[in-house]
Structure 1
Amino acid sequence: MILSAAKPVGGERVAPPDSPRTIRLHAEDNVAIVVNAFGLPAGTAFPDGPTLTEFVPQGHKVALEDIPRGGHVRRYGEVVGIALRDIPRGSWVEESCVETPTAPALDALEKATRVPAPLPPLEGYTFEGFRNPDGSVGTKNILAISTSVQCVTGTLDVAIRRIRQELLPRYPNVDDVIGLTHAYGCGVAINAPEAVIPIRTLQSLARNPNFGGEVMVIGLGCEKLVSERLVPQGEGAAEDSVVRLQDERHEGFGSMIASIMTMAEARLEVLNSRTRETCPASELVVGLQCGGSDAFSGVTANPALGFAADLLVRCGATVLFSEVTEVRDAIHLLTPRAATPAVADALIREMAWYDAYLEKGGADRRANPSPGNKKGGLNNIVEKALGSVAKSGTSAITGVLAPGERVKERGLIFAATPASDFVCGTLQLASGITVQVFSTGRGTPYGLAQAPVIKVATRTELSRRWSDLIDLDAGRIATGDASIEEMGWELFLLILDVASGRRQPWSDRWGLYNDLTLFNPAPIT
């Protein structure tokens, strides 16, 4: 990363009070992004660099050399656009100037050709977690109540209010009771091939380590997704874990609520016996996600996440990164890092599946990024993807999960999900994350009730404006006040504190949580 400072033209200050600066990420790049919060005006001159021919907003690209029509626009040392017209040196390389390059062909990728050597083990780091009977370790102690169909959500909401008011005060070691609610279960093609994704997701969600293994399901009785399918095998009789509202034993609404509360109390007694104990950092399962991304995501926050990911992998922990459409255009950088050709093939499998899914829906990867991403300086999905994969750090990729699959391997894992914040969060929870780290440049009040979410800002301006929503300011990397390594270590230690309950991220302090959102590519009948 190369920081460049400008000098005012003619001795007059024509920029904001801080020194005008740009960031160039790679020696081969022919563009740099503007660091200054309010952008830089026409006439700003950079030593050994261009003089701006027009105003360039913060995070947006300025041409470092003349780029002819049809020429390559390079950032991260990669082609992020094809010039649609001549782009003079010093001009703003905005969205209308460039065409999105073609995605890498999936049949011509290197596989496990540049597998990173293992980094030195990192020993002695621990956190205070809740150990479960199956050996997994949670960071929260929550009673989660699953639903087999949307029809019962209102009833469960009433029951949860009663449980919080009447029962939870008697079980002080339990953090909360939540519903794993969704818009699925009936009116769906339950036997369609792709129905495996939402069903597997619901089955896996119930087994998240933060729920202590105390599975409980509320069903109606006539839905296609029968309640028993959500009770893990080996958990005893399914009837002991299911409340079915249409059962004849229920005489009215009060009887239904009473049955839910009785079953919940039995599980609260078990969960209340859980206490935090010292566990090695290797027991963590950390999900990495980004939302409301901008041009700084791949410069500050995501590289810091990647450094922290490497530290976690060195501890023997499990780290999940996701978002297929925000990986697809950088897949050529990932398959060589796969630990084995089989892992590379699994990466390619998930990319190909999603290509076909988008094509069937009459869409393509150019539907991503969002208007906010573009306002933050990301011209297209190629540029966004190259910044997104920085979250993965430098470790070998040791496994790949299809949507909703539970993680089994340790190390760096690609968990295939859509890029939607809410769908990705739901699927990562199903895969077993117990902490999530979420980077954002534009800002989003995202949060999960099921696992703590650490918010990392890409820009100091956002961190200051949203001081009671952002947990860590990675914008200090762009200003030169901190290095990627320093921010990575700070984030790593924050993850340990949050996992231990010593620190609460802002989303937990506010109780600011998004609904779960299932990924359902199967037909609705």
Structure 2
Amino acid sequence: MTVSSNQARIIRVHPQDNVAIVVQQGGLEEGTHIEGDITLVAAIPQGHKVALEALNTGDRIIRYGEIIGTATAAIPRGGHVNENNVQLPIPPALSELPLATRKAPEMEPLEGYTFEGFRNPDGSVGTKNVLGITTSVQCVAGTVDYVVQRIRRELLPRFPNVDDVVGLNHAYGCGVAINAPAAVIPIRTLKNIALNPNFGGEVMVIGLGCEKLQPSTLVDDRPVKIYANTADADPEANVLSLQDDSFEGFGDMVDGIMAMAERHLERLNRRQRETCPVSDLVVGMQCGGSDAFSGVTANPAVGFATDLIVRAGGSVMFSEVTEVRDAIHLLTPRATTPEVGQALLDQMAWYDDYLAQGQADRSANPSPGNKKGGLSNVVEKALGSVIKSGNSPIADVIGPGERLRRKGLTFAATPASDFVCGTLQFAAGMNLQVFTTGRGTPYNLPMASVIKVSSNSTLGRRWHDLIDLDAGRIATGEASIEQVGWELFELILDVASGRKQVAADRLGLYNDLVLFNPAPIT
């Protein structure tokens, strides 16, 4: 990466690039001189691309050393390159890509780093200690929200080792084609959410009783114990249906849920933080509200931290199929085996078909905000997005809603939607998430802390009380990718240990879980 040293700073990522991005807050005016004898022939906003050479119609536009599109009109040297004069290139043909051909880089094991976590009987480790109340159908969401507030007021103060109680509401469960092949995705997602290590195995399920997705389905991998409103109610009960004949009115239902919650809180309160190796961490990497800086500052720093976690024996997942598809040729060679490489291709092909069925294509991404931040198309966005995966070998690929199976680096297939991706990564077992952004977002999850990393210092300063780490210092030359990567790694350990709170946790800002349901609704 080359950063110009004069006042009119630009960043050229690769020597072959014929475009560079503008660093200055507020952009650069027409007539500004950059990189020797180039003069801007138009005003160019911060993060947007300037042509370093004259481009004719049909000429390739190169960034990151890769073709991000072709010019739809002549662009003069010093001209503004943006979504209005760039055409999408043809995506890589999946059948022609190399699989597992890159020799894994030699990385020394990283030893001696630990965090303070909550160890579970199954060996997993939580970074929070949360009572999760999941639902089998949207019909009970209002009741769960009501009870959660009462639990926080009346019960939680008695259990100081429990961080919170969270209602896991969603829009699934009834009025859906529950036996359709694609219904496996939301159902396994809900089941695996309940297994997340931050819940310590104490998740409760609240259902209505008549829904298609019966509450017991969500805990069918463990003993199902139904709560009945009787004097000898089972203290191990984990499922309650509001339509149970033993309840007389809403007050009885609430009392039953409160009684269940108290028993679960008692068990959760026995959990204590203990020193755990980094190999017990499961970190999800995600980006949202991306800009042209994301691929040169925040995401490379995240990629560096990813490699540190993998070197320490931990687990990292990266996701977002539509923001990987156009850079898939950079990933398949990194698969540990041809089978893992083929699994990557299978997930790309499945999503290609899914988009086609919805009469959509890859041009639906990026968003208007991404374009305002300088990203011209999904190819440029993908090339910057995959950098979050660092240089580690890709050890495994899991489908939407599946649980993590291996240590190391995993591609967890998800849509690019922030909320859906976060939900699926949580179902996969992540106990903490890192989220890079160039445009800004208050996104956070109540059951797993989300560390926010800004890609540019303009956002870092403006959102000083929402951003946890400013990677924009890389663009201005104040810090290197390695320095910010180490800062992020140390911050991950502090947040995982409960020593530091992320900004959104301090402010109490939380998003709902959002299921991915590609199956029909009846």
TM-score when scaled to structure 1? 0.97
Q: 1:257-276 CA distances to partner (integer Å, 9 max, x unpaired)?
A: 01101111110000000010
CA contact (8 A) 2:118 2:125 kept: yes
Deviation at 1:473, TM superposition (A): 0.4
Question: Post-superposition shift, 1:115?
Answer: 3.4
Partner of residue 65 from structure 2, selected from 71, 77, 81: 77
- 2:332 matches 1:335: yes
Query: Are residues 47 and 32 of structure 1, via their aligned partners in 2, closer, same or farther at CA, if it must alter by over 3 Å?
Result: closer
Question: How far is the alpha carbon of 1:85 from its aligned partner?
Answer: 1.1
Alignment of 1:468-479 (within 5 A): 468-479=465-476
| 1: CA distance, partners of 2:423 / 2:369 | 23
CA deviation after TM superposition for structure 1 residue 238, in Å: 5.5
Q: CA deviation at 1:44?
A: 1.1
Cα offset for 1:216? 1.0
Structure 1 stretches of at least 4 aligned residues deviating more than 4 Å after TM superposition: none
The aligned runs of 1:23-422 (5 Å cut-off) are: 23-235=11-223, 237=225, 240-422=237-419
Query: Contact 2:185–2:401 at 8 Å: present in 1 too?
Result: yes
In 2: Cα distance, 1:118 partner to 1:216 partner: 45
State how far apart, in whole Å, the 2-side matches of 1:4 and 1:162 are.
58
Letter in structure 1 aligned against 2:482: E
More off after superposition, 95-104 vs 230-239: 230-239
1:46 to partner: Cα distance: 2.2
Question: Does the 8 Å CA contact 2:226/2:240 hold for their aligned counterparts?
Answer: no
Aligned partner of 1:463 in structure 2 is 460
Query: Counterpart amino acid of 2:470?
Result: D
Distance 1:230 1:366 in 2: 37
Matched-pair contact (CA < 8 Å) for 2:105–2:391: no
> Using the alignment, how far apart are the partners of 2:151 and 2:407 within structure 1?
36
- Tell me whether 1:484 sits opposite 2:481 in the alignment: yes
Q: 1:49 to 1:346 in 2, by over 3 A?
A: farther
The separation in 1 between residues aligned to 2:226 and 2:349, in whole angstroms, is 37
The question of whether the paired residues in 2 share the 8 Å contact of 1:231 and 1:238 is answered with no
- DSSP 3-state at the match of 1:96: coil
Judge conservation of contact 1:417–1:427 (CA < 8 Å) in 2. yes
CA–CA distance in 1 between the matches of 2:62 and 2:35?
21
Q: CA deviation at 1:48?
A: 2.9
CA-to-partner distance for each residue in 1:68-102, whole Å, 9 max, x for gaps?
11110000000001111111111111211110111
Deviation of the 1:47 alpha carbon: 4.0
Deviations 1:182-204 (A, max 9, x none): 00100000000000000000000
- Structure 2 unaligned runs (5+)? 228-236
Q: Residue 499 of structure 1 corresponds to which residue in structure 2?
A: 496
- Structure 1 gap ranges (5+): 7-18
Aligned to 1:13: none
Q: CA RMSD in A?
A: 0.9
CA contact (8 A) 2:398 2:411 kept: yes
TM-aligned CA deviation for residue 40 of structure 1: 0.6
| 1:95 alignment partner, SS class | coil
Residues 332-361 of structure 1: CA deviation (Å, up to 9, x unaligned): 000000010010011001000000000000
The alpha carbon displacement at 1:157 in A equals: 1.0
| Cα deviations by residue, 1:357-406 (Å, 9 ceiling, x for unpaired) | 00000000110000000000000000000000010000000001100001
Aligned residue type for 1:432? G
Which amino acid is 2:4 matched to?
Answer: S
Q: CA deviation at 1:234?
A: 2.9
Pick aligned residue for 1:448 from 430, 445, 449: 445
Instruction: Show CA shifts across 1:388-446 (max 9, x none).
Output: 00100000000011000010200000000000000000000000000100000000111
Equivalent residues of 1:215, 1:231 under 8 A apart: no
Q: Percent identity?
A: 67
* Deviation digits for residues 115-173 of structure 1 (CA, Å, limit 9, x no counterpart): 32341100000000000011000000000011000000111111111111111111111
SS in 2 for 1:62: strand
2:134 partner amino acid: S
Look up the equivalent residue of 2:362 and give its one-letter code. R
Deviating more after overlay: 307-316 vs 92-101 = 92-101
**Which SS does the other structure have where 2:110 is aligned?**
coil
CA shift, 1:4, in A, is 1.3
Please tell me the residue identity of whatever aligns with 2:2.
I
Figure out how many residues of one structure are paired with residues of the other and give that number: 513
Report the secondary structure of 1:289's partner residue.
Answer: strand
Give 1:3's aligned residue. 3
CA distance in 2 between counterparts of 1:238 and 1:204 reads 20
Amino acid of the residue matched to residue 176 of structure 1? D
SS at match of 1:496: helix
Q: How far apart in 2 are the matches of 1:47 and 1:423?
A: 42
CA distance in 2: counterparts of 1:337 and 1:187, whole angstroms: 42
- Structure 1 residue 236 displacement after superposition: 5.1
Structure 2 distance, partners of 1:164, 1:93, is 53
State TM-score, norm by structure 2: 0.97
Per-residue deviation, 1:49: 4.6
Q: Cα distance 1:49–1:304, how it changes in 2: closer, same or farther (>3 A)?
A: farther
Separation in structure 2 between the aligned mates of residue 233 and residue 351 of structure 1, nearest angstrom: 30
Output the amino acid matched with 2:119.
R
Measure the CA separation in 2 of the matches of 1:35 and 1:238: 60
Contact 1:186 1:223 in 2 (8 A): yes
8 A contact 2:216–2:224 mirrored in 1: no
Distance 2:387 2:39 in 1: 30
In structure 2, C-alpha distance between the alignment counterparts of 1:486 and 1:213, rounded to whole Å: 37
